[in-house]
Amino acid sequence: MQLWIGIHMTTHSLDTLFPLWSEKALSAVALWQDRVYALTPAAREQGLCLGMQRNTVSGLAPGVILQNRDLAAEHRRLRCIAMDLLQYTPNVILNPVGQAHTILLEVATSLSLFKGPCNLCHRIRASLCQHRTLHYRLSMSPTAQGAQILACQSQTSLRRTTQIKTLHRRLDLLPVNLLSLDQTQLDWLNGIGCHTLRQLQSLPRNGVRQRCSAQVIDEVDAIYGRVTEPRHIWFKAPELFSCHYNLPTHVEHVQTLQAVAGRLIERLCAWLQARQCATDTLVFLLHHEKGRRARPPSRLVLLLSRAGWQPDDFSQVLDQQLRRFTLHDHVIALDLSIPGIQPRPATSGSLLPEPTQWQADELRLIDLLRARLGSQSVLEPRPRADYRPERANNWVPVAPGAASQVGAHSKHAQVPGRLTRPFWLLPQPRLLTTHNDQPLYKGAPLHLIRGPERIETGWWEDTGCERRDYFIARDSKSAHYWIYRQREALDARWFLHGLFG
Protein backbone atom coordinates (compact mmCIF):
# COMPACT_ATOMS: atom_id res chain seq x y z
CA MET A 1 0.00 0.00 0.00
CA GLN A 2 1.20 3.47 -0.87
CA LEU A 3 0.82 6.61 1.20
CA TRP A 4 1.30 10.06 -0.25
CA ILE A 5 1.76 13.51 1.28
CA GLY A 6 0.84 16.50 -0.83
CA ILE A 7 2.14 20.03 -0.23
CA HIS A 8 0.62 22.88 -2.21
CA MET A 9 2.16 26.37 -1.95
CA THR A 10 -0.92 28.59 -2.00
CA THR A 11 0.86 31.93 -2.55
CA HIS A 12 4.12 30.78 -4.08
CA SER A 13 4.44 33.66 -6.55
CA LEU A 14 3.80 36.26 -3.85
CA ASP A 15 6.13 34.53 -1.38
CA THR A 16 8.90 34.61 -3.99
CA LEU A 17 8.46 38.24 -5.06
CA PHE A 18 7.49 39.76 -1.71
CA PRO A 19 8.92 37.59 1.13
CA LEU A 20 7.48 39.81 3.89
CA TRP A 21 4.10 40.60 2.34
CA SER A 22 2.10 38.91 5.11
CA GLU A 23 4.07 40.55 7.94
CA LYS A 24 3.97 44.07 6.50
CA ALA A 25 0.43 43.80 5.04
CA LEU A 26 1.71 44.87 1.64
CA SER A 27 -0.67 45.78 -1.14
CA ALA A 28 1.12 43.89 -3.91
CA VAL A 29 0.24 42.11 -7.15
CA ALA A 30 2.11 39.46 -9.16
CA LEU A 31 1.52 39.87 -12.90
CA TRP A 32 1.66 37.27 -15.65
CA GLN A 33 1.29 38.43 -19.26
CA ASP A 34 0.12 41.85 -18.01
CA ARG A 35 -2.72 40.34 -15.99
CA VAL A 36 -3.16 39.79 -12.27
CA TYR A 37 -1.93 36.30 -11.43
CA ALA A 38 -1.82 36.61 -7.62
CA LEU A 39 -2.56 39.40 -5.16
CA THR A 40 -2.36 40.01 -1.44
CA PRO A 41 -5.44 40.49 0.79
CA ALA A 42 -4.60 44.20 1.10
CA ALA A 43 -4.72 44.53 -2.68
CA ARG A 44 -7.98 42.59 -2.83
CA GLU A 45 -9.54 45.04 -0.37
CA GLN A 46 -8.88 47.81 -2.90
CA GLY A 47 -11.18 46.18 -5.41
CA LEU A 48 -8.61 44.20 -7.38
CA CYS A 49 -9.22 40.64 -8.56
CA LEU A 50 -7.54 37.90 -10.58
CA GLY A 51 -7.30 38.40 -14.32
CA MET A 52 -7.36 42.20 -14.27
CA GLN A 53 -5.12 43.98 -16.75
CA ARG A 54 -2.18 46.08 -15.61
CA ASN A 55 -3.75 49.37 -16.71
CA THR A 56 -6.95 48.63 -14.82
CA VAL A 57 -4.99 47.84 -11.66
CA SER A 58 -3.01 51.08 -11.95
CA GLY A 59 -6.22 53.05 -12.36
CA LEU A 60 -8.09 51.47 -9.44
CA ALA A 61 -5.18 51.30 -6.99
CA PRO A 62 -2.28 53.61 -7.91
CA GLY A 63 -0.37 52.75 -4.75
CA VAL A 64 -0.30 48.99 -5.27
CA ILE A 65 3.08 47.34 -5.92
CA LEU A 66 3.17 45.68 -9.35
CA GLN A 67 5.80 43.12 -10.27
CA ASN A 68 6.03 40.47 -12.97
CA ARG A 69 6.38 36.84 -11.93
CA ASP A 70 9.91 35.53 -11.69
CA LEU A 71 9.51 31.98 -12.98
CA ALA A 72 13.18 31.14 -12.49
CA ALA A 73 13.12 32.29 -8.86
CA GLU A 74 9.89 30.39 -8.23
CA HIS A 75 11.41 27.22 -9.64
CA ARG A 76 14.60 27.64 -7.58
CA ARG A 77 12.58 28.16 -4.42
CA LEU A 78 10.45 25.10 -5.12
CA ARG A 79 13.55 23.00 -5.76
CA CYS A 80 15.04 24.17 -2.46
CA ILE A 81 11.89 23.04 -0.67
CA ALA A 82 12.01 19.70 -2.47
CA MET A 83 15.67 19.35 -1.47
CA ASP A 84 14.75 19.76 2.19
CA LEU A 85 12.06 17.09 1.89
CA LEU A 86 14.46 14.49 0.47
CA GLN A 87 15.53 13.73 4.04
CA TYR A 88 12.14 12.06 4.60
CA THR A 89 11.86 10.02 1.41
CA PRO A 90 13.73 9.66 -1.89
CA ASN A 91 10.40 9.54 -3.76
CA VAL A 92 9.55 13.19 -4.40
CA ILE A 93 7.53 14.61 -7.30
CA LEU A 94 7.93 18.26 -8.22
CA ASN A 95 5.04 20.04 -9.95
CA PRO A 96 2.92 17.01 -10.91
CA VAL A 97 0.97 17.15 -14.15
CA GLY A 98 -1.98 19.52 -13.95
CA GLN A 99 -0.92 21.42 -10.84
CA ALA A 100 1.92 23.90 -10.34
CA HIS A 101 3.51 24.87 -7.02
CA THR A 102 2.86 21.39 -5.61
CA ILE A 103 5.15 18.70 -4.21
CA LEU A 104 4.17 15.07 -3.66
CA LEU A 105 6.00 12.63 -1.38
CA GLU A 106 5.57 8.85 -1.29
CA VAL A 107 6.21 8.04 2.38
CA ALA A 108 4.95 4.48 2.94
CA THR A 109 8.47 3.16 3.51
CA SER A 110 9.35 6.06 5.85
CA LEU A 111 6.58 5.55 8.41
CA SER A 112 8.48 3.13 10.63
CA LEU A 113 11.58 5.35 10.62
CA PHE A 114 9.65 8.45 11.67
CA LYS A 115 7.24 6.63 14.02
CA GLY A 116 4.00 6.93 12.12
CA PRO A 117 2.23 9.36 9.80
CA CYS A 118 1.42 11.97 12.46
CA ASN A 119 5.03 12.33 13.62
CA LEU A 120 6.17 12.42 10.01
CA CYS A 121 3.76 15.26 9.22
CA HIS A 122 5.01 17.20 12.25
CA ARG A 123 8.61 16.76 11.08
CA ILE A 124 7.73 17.92 7.57
CA ARG A 125 5.91 20.97 8.92
CA ALA A 126 8.94 21.83 11.05
CA SER A 127 11.16 21.68 7.96
CA LEU A 128 8.76 23.86 5.98
CA CYS A 129 8.73 26.43 8.78
CA GLN A 130 12.44 27.00 8.17
CA HIS A 131 11.55 28.66 4.87
CA ARG A 132 10.74 32.32 5.13
CA THR A 133 7.03 33.23 4.72
CA LEU A 134 5.94 29.94 3.19
CA HIS A 135 2.16 29.51 2.93
CA TYR A 136 1.04 25.98 2.12
CA ARG A 137 -1.56 23.27 2.60
CA LEU A 138 -0.58 19.72 3.56
CA SER A 139 -2.58 16.61 2.73
CA MET A 140 -2.24 12.83 3.05
CA SER A 141 -3.86 10.18 0.89
CA PRO A 142 -3.40 6.57 -0.25
CA THR A 143 -3.21 7.86 -3.86
CA ALA A 144 -0.88 10.44 -5.39
CA GLN A 145 -3.56 12.37 -7.25
CA GLY A 146 -5.82 12.17 -4.22
CA ALA A 147 -3.13 13.86 -2.11
CA GLN A 148 -2.66 16.42 -4.86
CA ILE A 149 -6.32 17.38 -5.14
CA LEU A 150 -6.81 17.44 -1.34
CA ALA A 151 -3.86 19.80 -0.93
CA CYS A 152 -5.08 22.15 -3.66
CA GLN A 153 -8.71 22.41 -2.54
CA SER A 154 -9.86 25.06 -0.07
CA GLN A 155 -13.43 23.80 0.56
CA THR A 156 -12.59 21.72 3.63
CA SER A 157 -9.81 21.43 6.19
CA LEU A 158 -10.10 17.62 6.27
CA ARG A 159 -7.12 16.82 4.07
CA ARG A 160 -5.41 13.86 5.74
CA THR A 161 -6.44 10.22 5.68
CA THR A 162 -4.76 6.85 5.36
CA GLN A 163 -7.92 4.88 4.53
CA ILE A 164 -9.23 4.54 0.98
CA LYS A 165 -12.89 4.60 2.10
CA THR A 166 -12.41 7.85 4.00
CA LEU A 167 -10.66 9.27 0.97
CA HIS A 168 -13.68 8.46 -1.21
CA ARG A 169 -16.07 10.25 1.16
CA ARG A 170 -13.96 13.38 1.20
CA LEU A 171 -13.39 13.41 -2.54
CA ASP A 172 -17.11 13.09 -3.27
CA LEU A 173 -17.76 16.56 -1.88
CA LEU A 174 -15.06 18.36 -3.90
CA PRO A 175 -15.92 20.46 -6.98
CA VAL A 176 -15.17 19.24 -10.49
CA ASN A 177 -13.15 22.37 -11.30
CA LEU A 178 -10.25 20.77 -9.40
CA LEU A 179 -9.84 18.32 -12.30
CA SER A 180 -7.73 18.99 -15.38
CA LEU A 181 -10.66 20.33 -17.43
CA ASP A 182 -10.68 23.05 -20.05
CA GLN A 183 -13.29 25.77 -19.87
CA THR A 184 -15.57 24.12 -22.48
CA GLN A 185 -15.71 20.84 -20.56
CA LEU A 186 -16.27 22.66 -17.27
CA ASP A 187 -19.11 24.73 -18.73
CA TRP A 188 -20.80 21.58 -20.09
CA LEU A 189 -20.63 19.84 -16.69
CA ASN A 190 -21.96 22.88 -14.86
CA GLY A 191 -24.68 23.23 -17.49
CA ILE A 192 -26.09 19.79 -16.72
CA GLY A 193 -25.93 20.38 -12.96
CA CYS A 194 -22.75 18.37 -12.33
CA HIS A 195 -20.74 20.30 -9.73
CA THR A 196 -19.08 17.68 -7.51
CA LEU A 197 -17.02 14.56 -8.09
CA ARG A 198 -19.85 12.41 -6.71
CA GLN A 199 -22.24 13.82 -9.31
CA LEU A 200 -19.65 13.30 -12.04
CA GLN A 201 -19.31 9.61 -11.15
CA SER A 202 -23.08 9.15 -11.29
CA LEU A 203 -23.07 10.08 -14.99
CA PRO A 204 -22.76 7.36 -17.65
CA ARG A 205 -19.05 6.77 -18.23
CA ASN A 206 -19.43 6.36 -22.00
CA GLY A 207 -21.34 9.62 -22.21
CA VAL A 208 -18.62 11.49 -20.29
CA ARG A 209 -15.99 10.00 -22.60
CA GLN A 210 -17.87 11.25 -25.66
CA ARG A 211 -18.79 14.71 -24.35
CA CYS A 212 -15.54 15.43 -22.46
CA SER A 213 -12.69 12.96 -22.96
CA ALA A 214 -11.44 9.62 -21.76
CA GLN A 215 -8.77 11.46 -19.76
CA VAL A 216 -11.43 12.80 -17.39
CA ILE A 217 -12.58 9.27 -16.50
CA ASP A 218 -9.00 8.07 -16.18
CA GLU A 219 -8.12 10.98 -13.91
CA VAL A 220 -11.10 10.35 -11.62
CA ASP A 221 -10.28 6.63 -11.45
CA ALA A 222 -6.67 7.45 -10.53
CA ILE A 223 -7.76 9.92 -7.84
CA TYR A 224 -10.04 7.32 -6.26
CA GLY A 225 -7.41 4.59 -6.56
CA ARG A 226 -9.39 2.34 -8.91
CA VAL A 227 -6.62 2.07 -11.49
CA THR A 228 -2.85 2.06 -11.41
CA GLU A 229 -1.53 5.59 -11.52
CA PRO A 230 0.73 6.58 -14.42
CA ARG A 231 4.47 6.35 -14.00
CA HIS A 232 5.85 9.26 -12.03
CA ILE A 233 8.83 11.46 -12.85
CA TRP A 234 10.85 11.62 -9.64
CA PHE A 235 12.75 14.66 -8.50
CA LYS A 236 16.51 14.06 -8.43
CA ALA A 237 19.01 15.94 -6.33
CA PRO A 238 21.50 17.94 -8.43
CA GLU A 239 24.97 16.51 -8.94
CA LEU A 240 26.62 19.53 -7.29
CA PHE A 241 25.30 21.31 -4.22
CA SER A 242 25.10 25.08 -4.11
CA CYS A 243 22.54 27.12 -2.20
CA HIS A 244 21.87 30.87 -2.09
CA TYR A 245 19.87 32.77 0.52
CA ASN A 246 18.91 36.45 0.35
CA LEU A 247 18.56 38.01 3.79
CA PRO A 248 15.39 40.05 4.41
CA THR A 249 17.42 42.78 6.12
CA HIS A 250 21.05 43.82 6.24
CA VAL A 251 22.89 41.92 8.96
CA GLU A 252 25.80 43.46 10.85
CA HIS A 253 26.17 40.98 13.74
CA VAL A 254 27.69 37.61 13.01
CA GLN A 255 25.51 35.83 15.59
CA THR A 256 22.45 36.68 13.51
CA LEU A 257 23.87 34.63 10.65
CA GLN A 258 23.88 31.41 12.65
CA ALA A 259 20.17 30.70 12.16
CA VAL A 260 20.39 31.35 8.41
CA ALA A 261 23.53 29.25 8.08
CA GLY A 262 21.75 26.48 9.99
CA ARG A 263 18.95 26.47 7.40
CA LEU A 264 21.48 26.16 4.59
CA ILE A 265 23.15 23.29 6.44
CA GLU A 266 19.79 21.52 6.72
CA ARG A 267 19.37 21.81 2.95
CA LEU A 268 22.87 20.43 2.49
CA CYS A 269 22.12 17.50 4.80
CA ALA A 270 18.95 16.72 2.84
CA TRP A 271 21.03 16.67 -0.35
CA LEU A 272 23.65 14.43 1.30
CA GLN A 273 20.90 12.14 2.57
CA ALA A 274 19.46 11.77 -0.92
CA ARG A 275 22.87 10.86 -2.34
CA GLN A 276 23.94 8.72 0.66
CA CYS A 277 27.23 10.59 0.99
CA ALA A 278 29.05 12.91 3.39
CA THR A 279 31.38 15.90 3.30
CA ASP A 280 34.11 17.34 5.51
CA THR A 281 34.34 20.88 4.08
CA LEU A 282 31.72 23.63 3.97
CA VAL A 283 32.36 26.96 2.24
CA PHE A 284 30.20 29.97 3.12
CA LEU A 285 30.34 33.17 1.07
CA LEU A 286 28.97 36.25 2.81
CA HIS A 287 27.92 38.86 0.27
CA HIS A 288 28.13 42.50 1.32
CA GLU A 289 26.31 45.60 0.18
CA LYS A 290 26.97 46.60 -3.40
CA GLY A 291 28.25 50.03 -4.30
CA ARG A 292 31.27 52.03 -5.28
CA ARG A 293 33.25 50.81 -2.28
CA ALA A 294 31.79 47.32 -2.17
CA ARG A 295 33.86 44.64 -0.50
CA PRO A 296 34.38 41.22 -2.04
CA PRO A 297 32.42 38.41 -0.36
CA SER A 298 33.81 37.24 2.97
CA ARG A 299 34.76 33.57 3.09
CA LEU A 300 34.04 31.26 6.01
CA VAL A 301 35.30 27.68 5.73
CA LEU A 302 34.33 24.82 8.04
CA LEU A 303 36.85 21.98 8.09
CA LEU A 304 35.96 18.74 9.85
CA SER A 305 38.26 15.89 10.79
CA ARG A 306 35.51 13.40 9.98
CA ALA A 307 33.00 13.71 7.17
CA GLY A 308 29.46 14.42 8.36
CA TRP A 309 25.98 14.27 6.88
CA GLN A 310 23.70 15.37 9.75
CA PRO A 311 23.07 18.94 10.98
CA ASP A 312 24.56 18.16 14.41
CA ASP A 313 27.84 17.21 12.71
CA PHE A 314 28.30 20.83 11.59
CA SER A 315 26.26 23.05 13.93
CA GLN A 316 28.57 23.04 16.97
CA VAL A 317 31.68 23.72 14.92
CA LEU A 318 29.84 26.50 13.08
CA ASP A 319 28.78 28.07 16.38
CA GLN A 320 32.34 28.14 17.73
CA GLN A 321 33.82 29.44 14.49
CA LEU A 322 31.25 32.22 14.14
CA ARG A 323 32.22 33.50 17.60
CA ARG A 324 35.73 34.17 16.30
CA PHE A 325 34.62 35.51 12.93
CA THR A 326 34.63 39.29 12.36
CA LEU A 327 32.30 41.03 9.93
CA HIS A 328 33.80 44.03 8.15
CA ASP A 329 30.56 45.11 6.48
CA HIS A 330 26.84 44.39 6.38
CA VAL A 331 25.78 41.04 4.92
CA ILE A 332 22.92 40.88 2.41
CA ALA A 333 23.11 37.24 1.22
CA LEU A 334 24.76 33.88 1.95
CA ASP A 335 26.04 31.15 -0.33
CA LEU A 336 26.87 27.60 0.76
CA SER A 337 28.82 25.15 -1.36
CA ILE A 338 30.99 22.07 -0.84
CA PRO A 339 34.14 21.28 -2.81
CA GLY A 340 33.60 17.52 -2.75
CA ILE A 341 31.83 14.53 -1.24
CA GLN A 342 32.91 11.25 0.34
CA PRO A 343 31.26 7.86 0.81
CA ARG A 344 29.27 7.76 4.01
CA PRO A 345 30.99 5.74 6.77
CA ALA A 346 29.22 2.49 7.58
CA THR A 347 27.37 2.41 10.90
CA SER A 348 26.96 -0.59 13.18
CA GLY A 349 23.78 -1.65 14.93
CA SER A 350 25.62 -3.18 17.88
CA LEU A 351 24.42 -2.42 21.40
CA LEU A 352 28.00 -1.99 22.62
CA PRO A 353 30.01 1.10 21.65
CA GLU A 354 32.28 0.56 18.69
CA PRO A 355 35.94 1.70 18.64
CA THR A 356 35.11 3.93 15.69
CA GLN A 357 32.58 5.78 17.86
CA TRP A 358 35.29 6.70 20.37
CA GLN A 359 37.46 7.92 17.53
CA ALA A 360 34.57 9.98 16.14
CA ASP A 361 34.02 11.64 19.54
CA GLU A 362 37.72 12.45 19.75
CA LEU A 363 37.74 14.01 16.29
CA ARG A 364 34.62 16.02 17.11
CA LEU A 365 36.32 17.42 20.21
CA ILE A 366 39.38 18.39 18.17
CA ASP A 367 37.16 20.16 15.63
CA LEU A 368 35.48 22.16 18.40
CA LEU A 369 38.85 23.16 19.87
CA ARG A 370 40.16 24.25 16.47
CA ALA A 371 37.03 26.28 15.80
CA ARG A 372 37.11 27.98 19.21
CA LEU A 373 40.86 28.53 19.74
CA GLY A 374 42.13 28.66 16.19
CA SER A 375 44.05 26.07 14.22
CA GLN A 376 47.43 27.40 15.39
CA SER A 377 46.51 26.81 19.04
CA VAL A 378 45.69 23.10 18.78
CA LEU A 379 48.85 21.06 18.22
CA GLU A 380 49.67 17.39 17.82
CA PRO A 381 52.99 15.52 18.05
CA ARG A 382 54.66 14.64 14.80
CA PRO A 383 57.59 12.18 15.24
CA ARG A 384 60.79 12.85 13.31
CA ALA A 385 63.57 10.47 12.35
CA ASP A 386 66.10 11.83 14.83
CA TYR A 387 67.50 10.08 17.91
CA ARG A 388 68.14 13.33 19.78
CA PRO A 389 65.23 13.61 22.25
CA GLU A 390 64.82 17.37 21.78
CA ARG A 391 64.41 16.84 18.03
CA ALA A 392 62.60 13.50 17.93
CA ASN A 393 59.23 15.24 18.08
CA ASN A 394 57.75 18.25 16.35
CA TRP A 395 54.55 20.01 17.44
CA VAL A 396 52.43 20.99 14.45
CA PRO A 397 48.88 22.39 14.10
CA VAL A 398 46.22 19.70 13.87
CA ALA A 399 45.00 19.56 10.31
CA PRO A 400 41.49 18.29 9.48
CA GLY A 401 41.60 14.52 9.58
CA ALA A 402 45.19 14.53 10.83
CA ALA A 403 44.28 13.34 14.32
CA SER A 404 43.48 9.91 12.90
CA GLN A 405 46.71 9.85 10.88
CA VAL A 406 49.25 10.28 13.65
CA GLY A 407 50.03 6.60 13.45
CA ALA A 408 50.57 6.92 9.72
CA HIS A 409 53.10 9.73 10.27
CA SER A 410 54.90 7.77 12.95
CA LYS A 411 55.48 4.86 10.56
CA HIS A 412 57.95 7.05 8.70
CA ALA A 413 59.81 7.91 11.90
CA GLN A 414 59.83 4.76 14.03
CA VAL A 415 62.09 4.53 17.06
CA PRO A 416 63.27 0.92 17.56
CA GLY A 417 62.64 -0.81 20.83
CA ARG A 418 60.64 0.22 23.86
CA LEU A 419 62.62 3.07 25.36
CA THR A 420 62.11 4.61 28.78
CA ARG A 421 61.46 8.29 28.47
CA PRO A 422 60.56 10.95 31.09
CA PHE A 423 57.10 12.44 31.42
CA TRP A 424 58.45 15.99 31.12
CA LEU A 425 61.22 16.75 28.65
CA LEU A 426 62.90 20.12 29.12
CA PRO A 427 62.93 22.38 26.03
CA GLN A 428 66.70 22.71 26.40
CA PRO A 429 69.05 20.57 28.52
CA ARG A 430 70.08 22.27 31.79
CA LEU A 431 73.72 22.21 32.88
CA LEU A 432 74.30 20.52 36.25
CA THR A 433 77.01 21.25 38.77
CA THR A 434 79.25 18.41 39.92
CA HIS A 435 81.19 17.42 43.02
CA ASN A 436 83.88 14.78 42.68
CA ASP A 437 82.45 14.00 39.23
CA GLN A 438 78.99 13.37 40.76
CA PRO A 439 76.11 15.42 39.29
CA LEU A 440 74.21 17.71 41.66
CA TYR A 441 70.69 19.14 41.26
CA LYS A 442 69.71 21.99 43.56
CA GLY A 443 72.71 21.10 45.70
CA ALA A 444 71.62 17.49 46.25
CA PRO A 445 73.61 14.60 44.75
CA LEU A 446 72.04 12.40 42.09
CA HIS A 447 72.66 8.64 42.18
CA LEU A 448 72.73 6.73 38.91
CA ILE A 449 70.36 3.75 38.96
CA ARG A 450 70.08 2.82 35.28
CA GLY A 451 72.12 3.36 32.14
CA PRO A 452 73.93 4.28 30.11
CA GLU A 453 71.85 4.62 26.93
CA ARG A 454 74.23 5.82 24.28
CA ILE A 455 73.13 8.22 21.53
CA GLU A 456 75.43 9.25 18.68
CA THR A 457 73.88 11.24 15.85
CA GLY A 458 73.94 14.58 14.00
CA TRP A 459 77.26 14.05 12.28
CA TRP A 460 75.84 15.54 9.07
CA GLU A 461 75.06 18.91 10.66
CA ASP A 462 77.34 21.91 11.06
CA THR A 463 77.08 21.72 14.84
CA GLY A 464 78.92 18.43 14.78
CA CYS A 465 78.16 14.95 16.07
CA GLU A 466 76.30 14.61 19.36
CA ARG A 467 77.69 11.90 21.65
CA ARG A 468 75.72 11.38 24.85
CA ASP A 469 75.37 8.76 27.56
CA TYR A 470 71.90 8.97 29.19
CA PHE A 471 71.22 7.76 32.75
CA ILE A 472 68.24 7.57 35.05
CA ALA A 473 69.21 9.18 38.36
CA ARG A 474 67.51 9.42 41.75
CA ASP A 475 67.87 11.95 44.54
CA SER A 476 67.42 11.50 48.29
CA LYS A 477 63.63 12.05 47.99
CA SER A 478 63.31 9.26 45.37
CA ALA A 479 62.57 11.72 42.56
CA HIS A 480 63.81 10.38 39.23
CA TYR A 481 65.64 12.41 36.62
CA TRP A 482 66.85 11.82 33.09
CA ILE A 483 70.43 13.11 32.76
CA TYR A 484 73.22 12.64 30.29
CA ARG A 485 76.96 13.15 30.09
CA GLN A 486 78.87 14.31 27.06
CA ARG A 487 81.35 11.83 25.68
CA GLU A 488 84.79 12.46 24.20
CA ALA A 489 84.86 16.07 25.37
CA LEU A 490 87.74 17.75 27.18
CA ASP A 491 85.37 18.99 29.87
CA ALA A 492 82.66 16.30 29.93
CA ARG A 493 79.67 17.89 31.67
CA TRP A 494 76.40 16.61 33.06
CA PHE A 495 73.02 17.89 31.83
CA LEU A 496 69.45 17.47 33.08
CA HIS A 497 67.12 16.68 30.18
CA GLY A 498 63.89 15.41 31.73
CA LEU A 499 61.89 14.55 34.85
CA PHE A 500 59.89 11.39 35.47
CA GLY A 501 56.39 11.58 36.91
Please say if the pLDDT value at position 349 is more than 80: no
What would the pLDDT profile of 31-87 be if each residue is shown by its tens digit? 999 999 999 999 999 999 999 999 999 999 988 999 999 999 899 889 889 988 988
- The answer on pLDDT for 409 being more than 60 is no
Asked if 68 and 162 sit in the same domain, the reply is yes
Pairing of strands 92-94, 102-106: antiparallel
Residue 229 domain-assigned (yes or no): no
pLDDT tens profile 162-189: 999 999 999 999 999 888 888 888 888 8
Most confident of 93-102, 197-206, 404-413: 197-206
Which CATH number fits the domain that encloses residue 343? 3.30.1490
46 part of a folded domain: yes
For 108-120, what is the mean pLDDT?
Answer: 93
Is residue 405 pLDDT above 60, yes or no? no
pLDDT in the model for residue 353: 64
Whether pLDDT at 412 is above 50: no
The percent of residues above 70 in pLDDT, for the chain, comes to 92
- Predicted pLDDT of residue 490: 61
- Looking at the structure, do residues 361 and 386 belong to the same domain, yes or no? no
224: pLDDT strictly greater than 80: yes
For residue 30, what pLDDT is reported?
A: 94
Q: Are residues 347 and 215 in the same domain?
A: no
C-alpha 70/C-alpha 14 separation (Å) is 10
- Quote the percentage of the chain above a pLDDT of 90: 35
What integer is the mean pLDDT of 222-235? 86
Quick one: 333 and 407 in the same domain? no
Q: Are residues 35 and 174 in the same domain?
A: yes
305 and 402 Cβ atoms separated by less than 8 Å: yes
The model scores a pTM over 0.75? no
Is pLDDT above 90 for 118?
A: yes
Structural domain count, the chain: 4
Residue 464 is predicted with a pLDDT of 66
Residues 34 and 169 in one domain: yes
- Whether 231 maps to a domain, the answer reads no
Q: Which of 34-43, 171-180, 346-355, 376-385 has the lowest mean pLDDT?
A: 346-355
In a domain, 374, yes or no: no
Whether 18 is in a domain gets the answer yes
Residue 230 belongs to some domain of the structure: no
In angstroms, rounded to a whole number, what is the distance separating the alpha carbons of residues 277 and 284? 20
Could you tell me if 92 and 11 lie in one domain? yes
Report yes or no on 299 lying in a domain. yes
Asked whether the beta carbons of 446 and 475 are under 8 A apart, the reply is: yes
Query: What is the per-residue pLDDT for 347?
Result: 67
Q: Do 353 and 399 belong together in one domain?
A: no
Task: Please check whether residues 37 and 175 belong to one and the same domain.
Answer: yes
pLDDT band at 359, cuts 50/70/90?
confident
Q: Average pLDDT in the 410-435 region?
A: 75
When mean pLDDT is compared across 9-18, 264-273, 275-284, 341-350, the lowest value belongs to 341-350
Q: How far apart are CA 25 and CA 65, in angstroms?
A: 12
pLDDT per position as a tens digit, 323-334: 888 888 889 999
State the residue range of the domain holding 449: 424-499
Same domain, 407 and 466: no
Residue 250 or residue 56, greater confidence: 56
Q: Smallest Cα–Cα separation from 61: which of 69, 70, 53?
A: 53
Strands 136-141 and 438-441: unpaired
Mean residue pLDDT of the chain comes to: 86
Q: Report if residue 284 sits inside a domain.
A: yes
- pLDDT for position 352: 67
Nearest partner of 96 among 264, 187, 222, judged by Cα:
222
**Residue 413: what pLDDT?**
46
Is 209 found in the same domain as 320? Answer: no
15 lies in the same domain as 106: yes
Between the CA of residue 402 and those of 190, 244, 279, 376, what are the distances in Å?
A: 72, 31, 16, 14
